[in-house]
């Protein structure tokens, strides 16, 4: 047989093993439910030999790949148009909540919906989901962003009162010698807006980190790490 030396298509082997159609076998593979010799296999067209062990995860179903939303902690100093390069398997946050099987297709065609200026760090949302994209677009003007901003010097009551006349709710989180940590809560935030507010009151920004978008927090993600947005989370 001509195909024996080079093996058979993985999808064909899975179809025979699971008793499903070739397309259903491809869906099982694309969903990350198939392993070859203990290693997750993602390409239906890859070839396997008779001596190789092909296994299918218990309970796996041949369903279309579900679109997902990803949350990334963008490091300071990185432009948002290159931050998507951090969406790789090695940067997946662990421990991740059980029940979400990672597949490389989750990292493809992700759209950044909540950009940040290069100097800022913090939470960015990427999505493949139409409903999430529409939500973030339609509610962009009312969605609250919480940002921690370190500024040079001590912020007194007069400057704080001037800040409170801006579109943001501003409070002092901490003060130490030579700098103040401010908390900004701002609806409809856009890149550069907080810098403009601080410029008006002659405050020099030292660092800025977005820690929340709507009801979704940054908590638990180190710079450069990403995680899934889960079904019970709402922006």
Q: Are residues 124 and 176 in the same domain?
A: no
Q: Residue 162: what are its φ and ψ, rounded to 5°?
A: -70, -40
What is the arithmetic mean of pLDDT over 7-26? 92
CATH number at residue 172: 3.30.70.1560
Q: Are residues 195 and 221 in the same domain?
A: no
What are the structure tokens assigned to 123, written together?
Answer: 């939470």
Q: Are residues 137 and 219 in the same domain?
A: yes
197 closest CA partner among 223, 163, 222: 163
Q: Are residues 197 and 180 in the same domain?
A: yes
Strands 8-9 and 169-176: unpaired
Q: What pLDDT, in 10s, does the model give residues 27-49?
A: 998 888 899 999 888 888 899 99
Q: Are residues 106 and 191 in the same domain?
A: no
Rounded CA-CA distance 226/234 in Å is: 17
Q: Are residues 194 and 81 in the same domain?
A: no
Domain holding 23, by residue range, is: 8-56
Q: Residue 134: what are its φ and ψ, rounded to 5°?
A: -65, -40
Please tell me the total count of domains within the chain: 3
- Is 88 among the domain residues? yes
* Helices 22-30 + 10-18 axis angle, to 10: 110
What is the arithmetic mean of pLDDT over 205-222? 95
- Is 209:51 a contact under the CB 8 Å cutoff? no
pTM of the model: 0.81
140, with CB counted inside 10 A (0-12, 13-18, 19+), is middle
Q: Are residues 74 and 137 in the same domain?
A: yes
Q: What pLDDT, in 10s, does the model give residues 106-147?
A: 888 899 999 999 999 999 999 999 999 999 999 999 999 999
- Is 154 among the domain residues? yes
Q: Residue 228: CB partners within 8 Å, gap ≥ 6? A: 68, 69, 70, 71, 96, 97, 100, 106
CATH number at residue 98: 3.30.70.580
What are the structure tokens assigned to 140, written together?
Answer: 């962009």
- Is 149 among the domain residues? yes
CATH number at residue 14: 3.10.290.10
Q: Are residues 220 and 135 in the same domain?
A: yes
Q: What is the pLDDT of residue 112?
A: 95
Q: What is the pLDDT of residue 97?
A: 60
Residue 138 three-state SS: helix
- Is 170 among the domain residues? yes
CA dihedral (115, 76, 146, 133) in degrees, to 10, reads: 20
Q: Are residues 82 and 116 in the same domain?
A: yes
- Is 1 among the domain residues? no
- Is 63 among the domain residues? no
Residue 89 has pLDDT above 90, yes or no: no
Q: Are residues 133 and 170 in the same domain?
A: no
DSSP class of residue 154 equals -
196, with CB counted inside 10 A (0-12, 13-18, 19+), is exposed
- Is 97 among the domain residues? yes
């Amino acid at each position: 047989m001509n195909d024996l030396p080079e093996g058979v298509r993985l999808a064909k082997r899975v179809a025979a093993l699971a008793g499903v159609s070739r397309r259903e076998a491809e869906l099982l593979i694309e969903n990350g439910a198939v392993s070859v010799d203990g290693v997750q296999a993602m390409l239906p067209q890859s070839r396997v030999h008779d001596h190789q062990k092909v296994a299918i995860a218990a309970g796996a179903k041949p369903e279309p790949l579900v679109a997902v939303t990803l949350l990334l902690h963008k490091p300071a100093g990185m432009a948002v148009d290159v931050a998507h390069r951090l969406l790789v398997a090695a940067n997946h946050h662990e421990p991740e909540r059980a029940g979400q099987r990672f597949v490389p297709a989750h990292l493809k065609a992700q759209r950044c919906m909540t950009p940040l200026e290069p100097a800022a760090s913090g939470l960015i949302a990427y999505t493949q989901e139409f409903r999430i994209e529409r939500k973030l677009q339609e509610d962009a003007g009312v969605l609250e962003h919480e940002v921690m901003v370190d500024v040079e010097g001590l912020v007194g009551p007069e400057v704080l009162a001037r800040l409170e006349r801006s579109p943001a709710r501003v409070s002092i989180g901490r003060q130490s010698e030579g700098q103040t940590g401010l908390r900004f809560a701002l609806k409809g935030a856009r890149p550069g807006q907080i810098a403009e507010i601080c410029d008006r009151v002659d405050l020099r920004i030292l660092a800025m980190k977005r820690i929340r978008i709507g009801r979704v927090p940054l908590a638990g993600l180190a710079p450069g790490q990403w995680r899934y947005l889960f079904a019970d989370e709402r922006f």
